[in-house]
Amino acid sequence: MSWYSGPQRILRLAWPVMISMMSYSLMSAADAIFVGRLGTVPLAAIGLAVTGTFLFIGLPMGLVRGLRVATAQATGAERSATVEVLGWQAVWLALGTGLAVVIASPLGAPMFHLLGATSAVREEALAYFMVRVYAAPIALLVMAFTAWFEGRGDTRTPMAANVTANLLCVALDAVLVSGAGPIPALGIRGAAWAGVTSLSVAALWLLRAAWPTLRRVRWRPHRALLAESFRLGLPIGVQRLLDIFAWTLLTGVLASISDVELAAHVIAIRVLMLSFLPGLAIAEATAVLVGQAVGARKPDDAHAAWRAGSWTAVVVMAVGGLGFVLAPHLLISAFGAAPEVVPIARNLLWIAAAFQLVDAVATVTYFSLDGAGDTRFTLVASLTLSWFVKLPVGVLLARYAHLGAVGAWLGLTGEIVLLLVVLLWRWRSRRWFVEPAIRAATVVATA
């Protein structure tokens, strides 16, 4: 059996990512729980604000993922000098794109206005958004270093930094949102400042861990390696940006329908993370192994990693889906939701349970194609289905069929099912190996 083929190798890489993502899920849930206690309007606002924040950093996040693909492929090709220089490229990529996000931040106010939320929700959402968006360089630095470490096969260092930071954020939420002793209650702004503080801790942690490598290689931007990261990451970034934009529009439709529909949507998303993030961690680990196999020019190893990752993700996400069916009220009750919000959130969890297994395989296959460098195909496939299935079907069912958040999630389900079909066809064709592998090997060799 190939070194790549067993679930043991997937899990060895995935469990630190899984713990890191679960800590992020805990932190996100804590944000919603502490802010939710302030009322339905703040709870709806934080959901809108987080979506808006991700819209602004969606493109840079994709570029960071391109750097991880380049690092994984260079690692598989045993080009250690290239891997080390990519560490500095992580810094320049994060700071450059983060500065661009800060410059674009004044667009936040008109964005929330166009989304159609009530004035009260817009005001609260903008307060959270402005704090988080000015910290974009810090957030992207954490993501970039995480991508670099993971591309090398080291998932434990980012885990230690991110878990520490996320637990710190939970503790700060408890103090800053509602106040404690001499510390005044900052409301939704407190949740934002808790996040920025914890991200700063994670950035310093990762910089310290990377410094022994960074100090012995050239610190200046490396044009060829940055170009390769952009080539791999730009399609991912464009896809993420436009997909988040589509999801933001859908969220805006729910905001325009009622604060109750939006609050139920926010709760369901936070609960869904309990199973989706572990599955996403497995997909991330699989993508690293696929990238390393492509760098080593071993497509059979890449296929074996995809197969093991798919089965592992199915098992993990099936457990989460079972919880959504058997104990939805238990999961929802932690958020202190108003009585009219609970049945809607429960219905959303039942829908999530229905698409869990499909989503598991789709996510692993999507990330595997990205890890192989086939990022242009995933861009076209994802955007086509996002804009021509999820968005129109979701809007039609949510607003015009009067199904609200349930309609939006039915549109999401249709997108996931069709996306799986397309991605499986591409993966089984093995077209992802021929051109991406040759192009990546050539660029890295001449860098």
Q: Categorize the per-residue pLDDT at 437 as very low, low, confident or very high, splitting at 50, 70 and 90.
A: very low
Query: Residue 217 gets which letter from DSSP?
Result: S
pLDDT above 60: residue 444: no
* Phi, psi of 219, rounded to the nearest 5 degrees: -90, -15
Percent of the chain whose predicted confidence (pLDDT) is above 90: 39
The verdict on residue 108 lying in a domain is yes
- Token pair belonging to 229: 């990261």
The single residue listed with the structure tokens 């637990």 is: 167
Query: What pLDDT is stored for residue 207 in this prediction?
Result: 96
Q: Could you please report the per-residue DSSP string of 223-252?
A: HHHHHHHHHHHHHHHHHHHHHHHHHHHHHH
Question: Which ranges constitute the DSSP H helices of 37-152?
Answer: 40-76, 80-104, 108-114, 119-134, 136-151
Q: What angle do CA 315, 409, 350 make, to 5 degrees?
A: 50
Residues contacting 96, CB < 8 A, separation 6+: none
Q: Which of residues 237 and 444 earns the better pLDDT score?
A: 237
The verdict on residue 2 lying in a domain is no
The verdict on residue 1 lying in a domain is no
Residues contacting 207, CB < 8 A, separation 6+: 141, 145
Query: Domain range holding 83?
Result: 7-445
Nearest C-alpha neighbor of 277 from the set 4, 12, 7, 16? 16
Q: Categorize the per-residue pLDDT at 347 as very low, low, confident or very high, splitting at 50, 70 and 90.
A: very high
Q: Could you please report the per-residue DSSP string of 302-314?
A: HHHHHHHHHHHHH
Q: Which of residues 242 and 137 earns the better pLDDT score?
A: 137
Query: Residue 183 gets which letter from DSSP?
Result: B
Q: Which of residues 360 and 442 earns the better pLDDT score?
A: 360
Query: Residue 135 gets which letter from DSSP?
Result: T
Q: Which of residues 31 and 445 earns the better pLDDT score?
A: 31
Nearest C-alpha neighbor of 101 from the set 46, 157, 63, 152? 63
pLDDT (tens digit per residue) in 295-329: 888 888 899 999 999 998 999 889 888 888 888 88
Cα torsion 331, 333, 335, 337 to 10°: value is 130
Number of DSSP helices (H) and strands (E) in the chain, helices first: 17, 0
Query: What pLDDT is stored for residue 95 in this prediction?
Result: 93
Q: Could you please report the per-residue DSSP string of 20-62?
A: HHHHHHHHHHHHHHHHHTT-HHHHHHHHHHHHHHHHHHHHHHH
- Token pair belonging to 7: 């679930």
pLDDT (tens digit per residue) in 42-62: 888 887 888 788 888 888 988
Sign of torsion, CA 352 353 354 355?
A: positive
Query: What pLDDT is stored for residue 202 in this prediction?
Result: 96
The verdict on residue 68 lying in a domain is yes
Query: What pLDDT is stored for residue 6 in this prediction?
Result: 59
Q: Categorize the per-residue pLDDT at 290 as very low, low, confident or very high, splitting at 50, 70 and 90.
A: very high
* Residue 259 near residue 118 (C-beta atoms within 8 A): yes
* Neighbouring C-alpha atoms within 13 Å toward the C-beta of 249: 15
Domain count for the chain: 1
The verdict on residue 96 lying in a domain is yes
* Residue 117 near residue 252 (C-beta atoms within 8 A): yes
Query: What pLDDT is stored for residue 434 in this prediction?
Result: 60
Query: What pLDDT is stored for residue 114 in this prediction?
Result: 79
Weakest mean pLDDT among 144-148, 232-236, 258-262, 433-437: 433-437
Q: Categorize the per-residue pLDDT at 3 as very low, low, confident or very high, splitting at 50, 70 and 90.
A: very low
DSSP bridge pairs for 183:
180
Nearest C-alpha neighbor of 345 from the set 334, 358, 356? 334
Query: Residue 221 gets which letter from DSSP?
Result: -
- Cα–Cα distance for residue pair 276/270, rounded to 1 Å: 10
Q: Categorize the per-residue pLDDT at 438 as very low, low, confident or very high, splitting at 50, 70 and 90.
A: very low
- Cα–Cα distance for residue pair 419/423, rounded to 1 Å: 6
Radius of gyration of the chain (CA): 21
Q: What angle do CA 417, 310, 356 make, to 5 degrees?
A: 45
Q: Categorize the per-residue pLDDT at 445 as very low, low, confident or very high, splitting at 50, 70 and 90.
A: very low
Query: What pLDDT is stored for residue 84 in this prediction?
Result: 92
